[in-house]
Amino acid sequence: MSNPVLQASDVHKTFASGDRRINVLRGTAISVAAGESVSIRGESGSGKSTLLNLLAGLDAPDSGRILWGGKPKLPTARANYLGIIFQSFYLIPEMDALANVLMAARICGRVGATEKKRAAELLARVGLSERATHLPGQLSGGERQRVALARALMNNPALILADEPTGNLDEKTGDAVIDLLLKLCAETQTALVLVTHNPAHAAKCSRHLTLHDGVLN
């Protein structure tokens, strides 16, 4: 049996608040297989974004183990191994849609004809071929999130981490973005971890978890 795409075990994380220590994660564990979609819900302040940052290697746990494909996560491997979709899009305002998608490849030091072709194909897959030369400020919120989705898939990642990707979108647009995200991940057998407040979006994933009192259930 192949290793899980993502595995975390006994993860603890605390933060200082004045003279107190707040235990945000208390032995959290998760395992995600290739092609699997997993939703994580929880109350505001429950630590969902903290957990996602740890899984992405953007922060380090106080203790516990996080593996990517059965190996310890390495920040230098992040751009190739996983894609991240944020609530706030984080597109570069001076770059058009195509250049924003290509930025994922540029971070890995490769932007040639193959990468440009793939970026254009991804924009077509998310329905934005005709918007490729538009700047983010010329795009709607839903279009910007679709550009972010294409960027996350640019390097053929094994894993997508999505942190409230519809939080800045209206209900109809958010539903369309989630459906597109799940469809593209299923087609490419890309594992997905989706953090969301939306129960309907969570229900569309193949497995559903809740973060409560620092533990996933």
Judged on CB neighbours under 10 Å (0-12, 13-18, 19+), 123 is buried
Angstrom distance (rounded) from CA 97 to CA 146: 10
pLDDT over threshold 80, residue 107: yes
Q: What per-residue confidence (pLDDT) applies to 156? A: 94
Tokens read off for 6: 């993502």
Judge contact between 6 and 32, C-beta under 8 A.
Answer: yes
Helix 97-107 with 141-153: angle, nearest 10 deg: 30
Judge contact between 38 and 32, C-beta under 8 A.
Answer: yes
What are the structural domains of the chain? 36-46+76-209 (3.40.50.300)
Judge contact between 184 and 26, C-beta under 8 A.
Answer: no
Q: What per-residue confidence (pLDDT) applies to 45? A: 84
Residue that wins the pLDDT comparison between 176 and 1: 176
pTM of the model as a whole: 0.94
Distances (CA, A) of 163 to 72, 95, 168: 22, 23, 11
Q: What per-residue confidence (pLDDT) applies to 44? A: 86
**Residue among 52, 1, 70 at smallest CA distance from 216:** 52
Residue the block writes with tokens 């183990």 = 65
Helix 97-107 with 113-125: angle, nearest 10 deg: 130
174 φ/ψ angles, rounded to the nearest 5 degrees: -60, -40
Q: What is the pLDDT of residues 200-212, one digit of tens each?
A: 999 999 999 999 9
Q: What is the pLDDT of residues 135-185, one digit of tens each?
A: 999 999 999 999 999 999 999 999 999 999 999 999 999 999 999 999 999
